[in-house]
Structure 1
Amino acid sequence: MDKEAPQQQSENVEAASKGGSLLRSSSIVSVMTLLSRVLGLVRDVMVAQYFGARADAFFVAFKIPNFFRRLFAEGAFSVAFVPVLSEYKTQRSLVEVKLLIARVSGVLGLALLAITALALLGADYLPWVFAPGFRDDPQKFALTAELLRITFPYLAFISLTAFASSVLNAYGRFAVPAFTPVLLNLCLIFSVVVMTDWFVEPLFALAWGVFMAGAVQLLFQLPFVARLGLLVRPQYQPKDEGVRRIGKLMIPALFGVSVSQINLLLDTLLASFLESGSVSWLYYSDRLNNLPLGIFAIAIGVVILPALSNKHAAQQGEGFARTLDWAIRMVFLLALPAALALVTLATPLMATIFYHGEITAYDVGKMTLSLQAYGSGLLAFMMIKVLAPGYYARQDTRTPVKIGIQAMVVNMLLNLALVFPLQHVGLALATSLSAYFNAFMLYRGLRQQGVYTAQPGWLSFALKALVANAALFTLMFWLMGDVQQWLEWSTLQRSSWMALIVAAGVLVYFVILIAAGLRPRHLKGQLF
């Protein structure tokens, strides 16, 4: 064994955590994610303007590999791999870390090739599973299958990208993985602006844009992994101790980490039976709802998973609880104003962002209702992203599975109960309600296991946040005015007034928090 390996590994860890704090690292990820999400909105606006609500076939063809990506790559794989990698990084030599990375990448790569090959062979049948309502429109059904053959290889590219991201995150390099999704949006924007004229059916341009984006994201991250000295040749050794441990952790995590994605997929399936355009209405409103979710909650979750994993490996129980408490407070501080904004300003937001080109006032009205339903569950969606790492960091994937299955059952029952009276809005509302059930059960489990205990000062903190949110709601409601005028204004008028509301809202919210005594130093936390 290399005698210098432990020293080199120690230097890597020190460099990764130098000057780091939870707030600083989360802020870096949030800024990068904000850039990605803003470009994502630009992308969606361009797609909406060009295709309107007739892009259902592409959204389903993109949603299928995206679903598997979130389920396997960013979901089950990441939450299983990062804790094991953190343990190796903390307790073993650099040589053993490299062997783990080589063997995991080999097994993962071969599995992805097999899954992709099977999906390509079965592309004509997958739409029956994910959008059975399309069978009433043979042309749309066939188009979905053709697009899927182009988009599905994205799963292999992006899963390997998630693998590289997990390595970088475990070593405290959060900025590069957070920036990488920007490339997806740039590729899709390029496909809309440049490539649509290349095809008789313009939706094929979007499909090839997805394929291109997967390859570009993977190639972008490899040099940064190489700088850590961890870009190694893959080895296929499925019986390796670390590989088998990760595999065992992944099996239950497949259900536990991606319940919200499964719920959204069920929404798409049922929406395919509803009024034409329902899939697109849900997609656009979900995308807007995911803006604060990605900027804040996912960023916090990405940062705390390796931090919690390190504290668990070092048997720092009190530090583990403090890190979880910090994450919950940050979500509470950021989710409430974001949810208020989505529900209160739903029509102005949808009109400002999407009321162009092929999108009609009727579409805006439908998207507004589903956005309000999704926005009402934003607090729960964000809580799930920070509570689940409390289990995964301790390599406990079974408990979230049980909770996830229960939440899925709740969601399915609510879907059936609400879809008939409320149509696509009922599907969005059912997803939000089941998310609250999921978040509550995760929270209760952490308390019962003694892993999480609320830290002092919660009552004062909550009161300050509630007062600030009350002032924010009053301001937004006053500035919004008559929602009908937003549909009559020009794009410039809508954009200008929305910018004013957002700027005024952010200013008032944080000024009141500061006046109430909340300071940035109160929000810091130790990363490693």
Structure 2
Amino acid sequence: MSQTILRSAMIIMVMTLIGRVIGFLRDTLLAHQFGNTFVTDAYGVAYSIPYTIFLFVPGALNAIFLPTLKQQITLKQKDQASALFRKMFTFTLLLYLVISILGFIYSKNLVQLLAPAYEGKELVIATHLMQIMWPSALFIGLLGMFQSTLNAHQQYFFPTLSAVVNSLVIIAAYPLLVPHFGIYGVAIGTTIGFAFAAFTMLPSVAKAGYNLKPDFYWNTLEMRKIGERFFPIMLGSIVTQMTVFIELYLAVGLGEGKLSSLKRAFTVYQLPIAIFVGAFILPIFPHLVEHFTNKKWDQMKASITEGMRYLFLLLLPTIFAFVMIPKELISFLYQWGGNSKFDARDVQWTSIALIFYGLGLFFVALKDLLTRAFYAMENTRTPVIAAVLSIGVFTGASMLLIPYLDHGGIALGTAIGALFHTLFLGILLRKQIGRFILPSFWITMVKTLLSSAVMSLSLMLARSTLPQDTLIKAKLSTLGLIGLGALSFLIAMIILRESLVLHLLQNISKRLLRR
């Protein structure tokens, strides 16, 4: 993996980690203020719309818009790149403005579709919350547009900073808006947060030479190329995110608090995905495009394998941690004593969901990497087919497991769907380019498994000895467990001479010595 990709990945990881830590503080405030009640369930239903859009729109726009813009930047066609930006900005603005207006009008119908069990007060609250948050769709569309533009210029700091800004604005809503508007204050803060997140990137976009002058002339070769990619990629992204709505539909009938437990567990589960998966896949994607264009199949396979090695190395110990210390992690993040309404029952329910979600963590990451490989080869059809089939597997598995595992069945169904999705893409990719998993991956896999086993043993031995009798001691004990697990894993990987770890440590030491 080139130094440029590794450097970009480190920037994305650090900024995403900061954003997620602040995001957890935001979610902790929601749990502390309202607990796992019908009010937070209603907020979860309403928030599912902007959250789902936020999950897929920036990534989809990146896959749609970045390759064409990057090509013009590489060819030093500055005027054409600027014109393309204005056309895409105009199109994105109008598209998401229309979506926001229609969503606002039909909010009640959407709530009834997503949560058919809601009626009376629950229906009214969820509808009003959704109407307040629908303008977020417009700001998320612009956010994705600005992120793709800056990524094309290999700028990753401000695009990842936008998530930090979003969370800080929502946190500010608790002292400023919640005392006056209750849960509606959180919804208002959510919409304002997405607006600030988008506008944070405007100075960098302007500095790169772009302006927001509308341009309605879309009948160009570049826009047609983007249009050819737009619908299949958007369709694939939308279909993939349908799991959020199916999960919501299945969970609302399981009783009060189950949906919120799934949402909180999913937030924790998304942390390593956001930090590690995006950090490596985002900078790898342009290289995959370049290798395909130049028909350098060996280099393309090497890039895929390298990405798989990093993802497995980073995510497997995370999976082990989710399974070994789920209650400690959930309590650390959401249970803060005093007047907190997040109790032992909530910890138990959320921990169960986290364990089952975690089992599919690596497959979700690998699925995203393989999808980008197909996009790089201008094959947008296969990922859509894979996404549709995996939705069926997820839904069927969840419905079969719910009678036995309650809300945990939905989380495990998600993991099973991700496993199927990955296997389907992997089999078809091998048919297209040949064997793409090089021997170096299997070597890293064995070393990572052994190191994760060492980490698990250290956690098992330490967990029973650390004090838990007060809130502060429990928090410090959890931090100690996390630190011990990370250290034992790192030492084991160094002893096993894992090249990725040694290379990363070498780069870090060089940077420190320079300073």
Q: TM-score, normalised by structure 2?
A: 0.92
Query: What SS does the aligned partner of 2:201 have?
Result: helix
Change (3 A) 1:325 1:258: farther
Partner of 2:510: none
What is residue 410 of structure 2 aligned with on the other side?
A: 427
Of 473, 492, 497, the match for 1:517: 497
Deviation at 1:260, TM superposition (A): 4.6
Amino acid paired to 1:509:
F
Alpha-carbon separation, structure 2, partners of 1:69 and 1:182: 14
Match of 1:187 among 157, 169, 175: 169
The corresponding residue for 2:10 is: 27
RMSD: 2.1
CA contact (8 A) 2:262 2:350 kept: yes
Structure 1 CA distance, aligned partners of 2:459 and 2:156? 34
- Separation in 1, partners of 2:408, 2:442: 35
- Whether the 8 Å contact between 2:53 and 2:140 is mirrored in structure 1 is no
| Counterpart Cα distance in 2 of 1:160 and 1:463 | 43
2:42 to 57, 68, 71: 57
In 1, the alpha carbon distance for the partners of 2:367 and 2:284 equals 13
| Separation (CA, whole Å) in 2 of partners of 1:90 and 1:38 | 36
Which residue of structure 1 lines up, in the alignment, with residue 130 of structure 2?
148
SS at match of 1:453: coil
C-alpha deviation, 1:490, in angstroms: 2.2
Residues 481 and 262 (structure 1), Cα distance of their counterparts in 2 relative to 1, 3 Å cut: farther
Shift of 1:511: 1.4
Q: Among residues 119, 139, 147, which one is paired with 2:121 in the alignment?
A: 139
Tell me the residue number matched to 2:368.
385
SS in structure 2 of the partner of residue 358 of structure 1: coil
Alpha-carbon contact 2:61-2:148 (below 8 Å) kept: no
Q: Which protein has greater RCO, CA pairs closer than 8 Å, 6+ apart? A: 1
User: Deviation at 1:152?
Assistant: 0.9
What residue is the counterpart of 1:225 in the other structure? 205
Letter in 1 for 2:128: E
The residue number in structure 2 matching 1:86 is 70
Three-state SS of the structure 2 residue aligned to 1:132 is: coil
The aligned counterpart of 1:458 is: 441
Q: Equivalences for 1:116-515 in 2 at 5 Å?
A: 116-135=100-119, 138-199=120-181, 202-257=182-237, 259-356=239-336, 357-450=340-433, 453-481=436-464, 489-515=469-495
The CA deviation at 1:87 is 2.9
Superimposed CA distance per residue, residues 7-36 of structure 1 (whole angstroms, 9 cap, x where no aligned partner): xxxxxxxxxxxx952222111100000000
CA distance in 2, matches of 1:450, 1:315: 11
Deviations 1:114-150 (A, max 9, x none): 1111111112211012222213xx1011111111111
Amino acid at match of 2:442: L
3-state DSSP of counterpart to 2:108: coil
Compare 302-311 and 330-339 and name the one that shifted more: 302-311
Shift in alpha-carbon separation, 1:482–1:367, aligned structure 2, 3 A = farther
Count, aligned residues: 499
- Give how far 1:91 is off: 4.3
Q: Distance in 2 between matches of 1:95 and 1:455?
A: 42
CA contact (8 A) 1:59 1:280 kept: yes
1:275, CA displacement in angstroms? Answer: 0.7
1:61, 1:232 → 2: CA distance?
31
CA–CA separation in structure 2 for the residues paired with 1:193 and 1:476: 38
SS of 1:273 mapped into structure 2: helix
| Contact kept? 1:61, 1:145, Cα under 8 Å | yes
Asked whether the equivalents of residues 367 and 425 of structure 2 are also in contact (C-alpha less than 8 Å), the reply is: yes
Q: Does 1:69 align with 2:44?
A: no
TM-score, normalised to structure 1's length? 0.90
- Rounded to whole Å, the distance in 2 between the matches of 1:39 and 1:279 is 22
